Chain A
Amino acid sequence: AQRVTQPEKLLSVFKGAPVELKCNYSYSGSPELFWYVQYSRQRLQLLLRHISRESIKGFTADLNKGETSFHLKKPFAQEEDSAMYYCAPTPQYGNNRLAFGKGNQVVVIP
């Protein structure tokens, strides 16, 4: 069963518009949560992790344990944000294994 859900496969937004990528997980306990990004012709790389509580490239993600969600948000999308985004929780805290969602393709329209 899919334990990481990213419902929208493709998200098209206009430059300057807000973007939100949804991620829900179904692991119990306290998984660690990550967002990875893959820009065109580049390798997959870490965007941000929930324990850092930081904003990277204008993106933030809030962990909602009640809703088991870790949605990624940016108030004003830029063209360079066009990429594939993967939500990746760890099924078990501390074992360093990631379970990747199916990914969201984000296209920012100029």
Chain B
Amino acid sequence: DADVTQTPRNRITKTGKRIMLECSQTKGHDRMYWYRQDPGLGLQLIYYSFDVKDINKGEISDGYSVSRQAQAKFSLSLESAIPNQTALYFCATSDESGGTDTQYFGPGTRLTVL
């Protein structure tokens, strides 16, 4: 779905570097999420945000931080990257609803930490 975009798509960096992954959406959704995907482990939730003033930790938030700059933008930062943060990172959005709504995913960012 081209309404959810991620930059960069690929990034190679070195241990100790600060990295920012960006997610933008034009779907007008309030809710945004960051996941990481490791081979054989499925997707794990890092952080999520239900609106601009709301930030929540997910299952594996250690070593990560986020910023919700606007309804449409949700950034994920690695303050000091380490090799075990090498993974595929996905951003997702969903609309606010009484139950659980469909999540729309970005194309992913492949991050390699050397």
- CB within 8 Å of B: which residues of A? 4, 9, 32, 34, 36, 43-46, 49, 51, 86, 90, 93-103
Contact = CB atoms under 8 A, between A and B. Distances in A.
12 contacts: A36-B103, A43-B1, A43-B107, A43-B108, A44-B92, A45-B104, A86-B43, A90-B100, A94-B100, A96-B94, A97-B45, A101-B42
Given A43-B107, A86-B42, A96 B1 contact: no
Q: Give the bracket for the number of chain B residues in contact with chain A.
A: 20 to 34
B102 A46 contact: yes
Nearest to A42: B107
Contact of A9 (B40, B99, B100): B40
Nearest to A90: B100
A4 B42 CA distance: 10
The 5 closest A-B pairs by CB, nearest first: A100-B43, A102-B42, A44-B105, A100-B42, A43-B105
Interface of B: 1, 4, 31, 35, 40-45, 48, 50, 58, 90, 92, 94, 97-108
A96 B90 contact: no
Contacts of A93: 99-100
Contacts of B101: 96
